[in-house]
């Protein structure tokens, strides 16, 4: 890959403290396994907001897949379909939603709330018609994070010929006036499950539920927004307390292995999302590369469950984690 584009995918905001800390938070945890549980073959299947998953993992929304590989977002979706997981399609996808949906993958669509409400309504209608099963509203981006590597590299625009194909020629607006009334409006605008992505503070998690969110994603945008923000795994317990089981709580950021997934689930997450490892798989080998990433995570999770003494994710509990 062009090293400038590699930096775009790999990089974070500021000094990249949060980017590093997301992974470090998982490495700080240890598993206290149970023994003699007679698990037999494991069953990793789960359902989140009506979407069936072959394991508790979704592909996190990431921008510009055509920069990583000519297969683009459709290649990622093809792998998601064959692995039986869902893909959250970024609003900054470089292929049309209809082309991505043609793969038959289970899709959710990620939205940055747009100040042009007519355009936003048309976009919601379009992605709903294409068959997406959920809307993921990213709420951690009133402004774009300071992407140190992109600034250093002068990466400001997509190369000629590439564009955000679901934006009808518009730029994606990040809007620093966004507030809960925008979420209320979105809640009224769609019957699809509405998921808020980018929740870290427990008070916001509670507000998300009262404003009608069907799930929240504990996320710091992979360390690309507020550098110094808490690692997602460290934020998870307080968010779970605030939500109190009323809606599923998902998590992303720093998940690199099946044992990381096990740790997140044991601490109470319903499912996990993975960003950069999927892009890495795409860059390496297109759809088969993404499939390899997903199957590696599946095999690791299955193995870790066997060794920790759980047959299925629902059997995991916080006492297994130190």
Ligand X SMILES: CCCCCCC(=O)C(=O)O
Ligand Y SMILES: Cc1cc2nc3c(=O)[nH]c(=O)nc-3n(C[C@H](O)[C@H](O)[C@H](O)COP(=O)(O)O)c2cc1C
Binding-site residue numbers are: 61-63, 90, 110, 112, 138, 147, 197, 219, 221, 224, 252-256, 275-276
Q: Which two tokens stand for residue 103?
A: 């793969």
**Residue showing the smallest CB distance to ligand X in the complex:** 63
- The answer to whether residue 88 forms part of the interface with ligand X (CB under 6 A) is no
End-to-end CA distance of the chain: 39
Closest CA to 44 of 227, 311, 239: 311
- The answer to whether residue 63 forms part of the interface with ligand X (CB under 6 A) is yes
Please pick, from the candidates 60, 86, 92, 213, the single residue that binds ligand X as defined by CB under 6 A: 92
- The answer to whether residue 205 forms part of the interface with ligand Y (CB under 6 A) is no
**Can you tell me the distance from the alpha carbon of 156 to that of 317, in angstroms, rounded to the nearest whole number?**
44
HSE-up of residue 90 (Cα within 13 Å, Cβ side): 22
Please pick, from the candidates 224, 276, 291, 298, the single residue that binds ligand X as defined by CB under 6 A: 224
Smaller CB distance to ligand Y: residue 248 or 275?
275
88: CB partners within 8 A, 6+ apart:
58, 59, 60, 61, 107, 108, 109, 110, 136, 273
Please pick, from the candidates 14, 56, 61, 134, the single residue that binds ligand Y as defined by CB under 6 A: 61
- The answer to whether residue 197 forms part of the interface with ligand Y (CB under 6 A) is yes
**Residue showing the smallest CB distance to ligand Y in the complex:** 275
- The answer to whether residue 138 forms part of the interface with ligand Y (CB under 6 A) is yes
Which are the catalytic amino acids?
221
**Can you tell me the distance from the alpha carbon of 141 to that of 226, in angstroms, rounded to the nearest whole number?**
9
Site string for ligand X, 156-175 (x = CB under 6 A): ----------------x-x-
**Can you tell me the distance from the alpha carbon of 111 to that of 35, in angstroms, rounded to the nearest whole number?**
44
- The answer to whether residue 60 forms part of the interface with ligand Y (CB under 6 A) is yes
Coil, strand or helix at 13: strand
Please pick, from the candidates 82, 94, 110, 166, the single residue that binds ligand Y as defined by CB under 6 A: 110
Closest CA to 119 of 166, 182, 178, 175: 166
Q: How far is CA 22 from CA 18, 70, 110, 233, 237, in A?
A: 6, 29, 21, 7, 15
- The residue ranges that bind ligand X (CB under 6 A) are 63, 92, 144, 172, 174, 221, 224
- The residue ranges that bind ligand Y (CB under 6 A) are 9, 22, 60-63, 90-92, 110, 138, 197, 219, 221-222, 224, 252-255, 274-276
């Amino acid at each position: 890959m062009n090293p400038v584009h590699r930096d775009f995918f790999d990089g974070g905001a500021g000094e990249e403290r949060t980017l590093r800390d997301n992974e470090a938070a998982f490495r700080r945890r240890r598993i206290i396994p149970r023994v003699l549980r007679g698990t037999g073959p494991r069953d990793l299947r789960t359902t989140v907001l009506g979407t069936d998953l072959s394991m508790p993992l979704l592909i996190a929304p990431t921008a510009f897949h055509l920069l990583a590989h000519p297969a683009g977002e459709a290649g990622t979706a093809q792998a998601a379909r064959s692995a039986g997981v869902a893909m959250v399609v970024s609003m900054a996808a470089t292929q049309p939603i209809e082309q991505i949906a043609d793969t038959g993958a289970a899709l959710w669509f990620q939205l940055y709330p747009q100040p042009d409400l007519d355009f936003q309504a048309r976009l919601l209608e379009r992605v709903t018609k294409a068959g997406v099963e959920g809307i993921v509203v990213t709420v951690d981006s009133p402004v774009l994070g300071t992407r140190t590597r992109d600034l250093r590299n002068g990466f400001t625009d997509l190369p000629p010929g590439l564009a955000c194909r679901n934006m009808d020629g518009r730029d994606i607006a990040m809007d620093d006036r966004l507030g809960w009334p925008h979420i209320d409006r979105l809640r009224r605008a769609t019957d699809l499950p509405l998921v808020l992505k980018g929740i870290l503070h427990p008070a916001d998690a509670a507000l998300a539920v009262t404003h009608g969110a069907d799930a929240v994603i504990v996320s710091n945008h992979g360390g690309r927004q507020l550098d110094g923000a808490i690692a997602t795994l460290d934020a998870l317990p307080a968010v779970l307390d605030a939500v109190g089981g009323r809606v599923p709580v998902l998590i992303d950021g720093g998940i690199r292995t099946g044992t990381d997934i096990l740790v997140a689930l044991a601490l109470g997450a319903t499912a996990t999302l993975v960003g950069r490892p999927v892009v890495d798989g795409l860059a390496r080998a297109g759809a088969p590369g993404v499939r390899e990433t997903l199957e590696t995570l599946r095999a690791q999770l299955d193995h870790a469950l066997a060794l920790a003494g759980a047959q299925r994710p629902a059997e995991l509990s916080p006492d297994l984690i130190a």
